[in-house]
Structure 1
């Protein structure tokens, strides 16, 4: 019995060597571009993306999307803190 993974473009011999399980931020741009192009042409991209979403995959490249959590922006974190918490450290 075959699954959608058997038809994934990333499983072809020449594409298997790409860093599919590495987050895009840790991968050279040229390799990210190659993975994106592979996913764009993949016949099972939607099934791959659905699998990653359903299984809450939080890393690697699935369905043309880097699944790494977005890094927190420190300025956004400061905006979320109550002003009193910021003043406590200033005294």
Structure 2
């Protein structure tokens, strides 16, 4: 990875270990552009997959787990009254 584009001086200041949700769009775009022209991108992708990276930017992709959608966690079934069926 000595030849990785993210190790160049102009890319070192980018937040490579930060979740994209917390990163300004302009920086996300710069990181993607940097990765797009990287000579070791395929090796980077392979490493990220084999090591099961769960954070940071690898081969132009934010590896942070997808945040849970809280609306999916809400039980939308109607509540059953304790009085239903009571005589």
TM-score, length of structure 2 as denominator length: 0.83
Which protein shows a greater Rg? Answer: 2
Taking the aligned partners of 1:66 and 1:28, their CA distance within structure 2 comes to 13
RMSD in angstroms over aligned alpha carbons?
Answer: 1.9
TM-score, length of structure 1 as denominator length: 0.80
Aligned to 2:10: 14
* Structure with more of its chain in helix, by fraction: 1
Residue ranges of structure 1 left out of the alignment (5+ in a row): none
The number of equivalent residue pairs is 82
Taking the aligned partners of 2:31 and 2:43, their CA distance within structure 1 comes to 17
Which runs of at least 4 in structure 1 moved beyond 4 Å after TM superposition?
Answer: none
